[in-house]
Amino acid sequence: MNSRRRVAITGIGMVTPLGHDAPTTWAGLLAGRSGLGPIRGFDAEGFPVRIGGEVRDFKPEDVISNRRLLKYASRPAGFALVAAEEAMRDAGLRPNALDGHRWGLSVGAGMLGVAFSELETVHRHCVADGEFHPDGFLDSQFPVDPVAFCRSQTNAGLGLLAQHFGIRGYATAVHTACASGGQALGTALKVMRRGHADFMLAGGFDSMLNPVGISGFCLLGALSTDNDTPHQASRPFDKTRNGFVLGEGAGFLVLEEWASAQARGARIYAELAGDGNSLSSYRITDSHPSGDGPIQAMQQAMQDAGIGLEDVDYVNAHGTSTQMNDRSECAALRAVFGSHIQRVAVSSTKSCMGHLIAAAGAVEAGVCALAIRDGIAPVNANLVEPDPECGVNLVRGQSRPLQIRATLSNSLGFGGSNSCLVLRHPDEVMAPSGRGRFPLGKATA
């Protein structure tokens, strides 16, 4: 193995449709419980899709005491602050005046920077006569809300997190649609390996559960219309699947230089060991049927981690529950793993949470870390009739006890961005001989 800095995951935080913290979310996933239901955040009666994975009864002020900070936080930025706060407390770490410059921040940002309520305000003032008048924005009578303007910026969440925690080092916001959270974590890994930070707060947050988000995905024909059975609407890899279910939330991890984590006796969930990325030059909404782009991302991630095909025990699949995505991803998995694919457990936790878009990859990486810790692969819920064209070893019926040495976490985004992360069991890294109870091989891709 090479001498690159190793990166430990020492803190996990989540806000999801299953709960407002990581333990509640994890328990829901293991039980196969659904967080999907009728949309309550706005009147969706006129839409063909009226279901989603909402974060219910969310009150960020229960966790974040700085009311001034929350004034500038949009709903998804509130998710980010709460999830990141949980991750910091879980790690037992916090930047201070002496080391804040050695902390970095890498954030997967959401797709929509303006809340629908703010668009309604524009509508009321600029379309009074039934016509749109752009000049209305320049009218001195047009009400200007500086707080709303600040909330609408795509880097607003990044700024709020930096301010809340006193992070003064490397900072970036990644916006690659569904791959954002995964690529934000991969960016954090590279920053730490280069020695530009000793600690990173990394993750993603998003909410597309609003009339603009729902209508856009409806026009693409990407969403399930099973409004009467929301709990079963997200069924990745099932033959009867008919689209994904939009969700919302946030996931953050605290990443720490390995020697630092060992020295302070920190609990290490897993090593963030590998990162792979590619761009599918095919269609803006689909992966190539052969899985070409995801193949490259998975091969790169395993090579980066220094592991072989036989070392991967679990894949948390992107698995959105659309016909094209699921088949393309499975084609990629079969191409990468060959005959070994039937010994790799595969599941999509979007079956319980829906698709959290920019937050998905970060939440699912946290899920992989918890799967390693507890030795269990979460169930692919709602899988009744597996699609014979998928042909992978799906975790069905109930979560599966499994000794997990390494996992892949796939995030395949609209626009063709593909992210794959490798997480490894900490025992293999911490063994004094360099070979732990889970000895790993070499990458073969």
pLDDT tens readout for residues 374-386: 999 999 999 999 9
% of the chain surpassing 70 pLDDT: 85
Query: Where does a domain end: 149, 173, 201?
Result: 149
CA distance 358 to 206: 5
Shared-domain flag, residues 68 and 170: yes
CA distance 243 to 223: 4
pTM for the predicted model, two decimal places: 0.91
Known active-site residue 425? no
Q: Per the structure, how many domains does the chain have?
A: 2
Q: Please pick, among 355, 368, 390, 425, the residue that the annotation labels catalytic.
A: 355
30 is a domain residue = yes
Q: Which residues constitute the domain of residue 306? A: 7-113+153-430
Radius of gyration of the chain (CA): 21
Shared-domain flag, residues 129 and 257: no
Shared-domain flag, residues 193 and 323: yes
Q: Please pick, among 20, 164, 178, 330, the residue that the annotation labels catalytic.
A: 178
Shared-domain flag, residues 131 and 160: no
Shared-domain flag, residues 285 and 417: yes
Sorting pLDDT into bands at 50, 70 and 90, what band is 2? Answer: very low
CA distance 302 to 422: 7
Shared-domain flag, residues 128 and 192: no
Known active-site residue 178? yes
261 is a domain residue = yes
Q: Please pick, among 20, 318, 352, 390, the residue that the annotation labels catalytic.
A: 318
Q: Token digits for 389?
A: 């064209």
Domain CATH code at residue 389:
3.40.47.10
Q: Pairing between strand 270-279 and 376-377?
A: unpaired
pLDDT tens readout for residues 137-174: 555 554 556 666 666 666 789 999 999 999 999 999 99
CA distance 256 to 188: 10
271 is a domain residue = yes
Known active-site residue 355? yes
- Is 60 exceeded by the pLDDT of residue 38? yes
1 is a domain residue = no
CA distance 445 to 261: 31
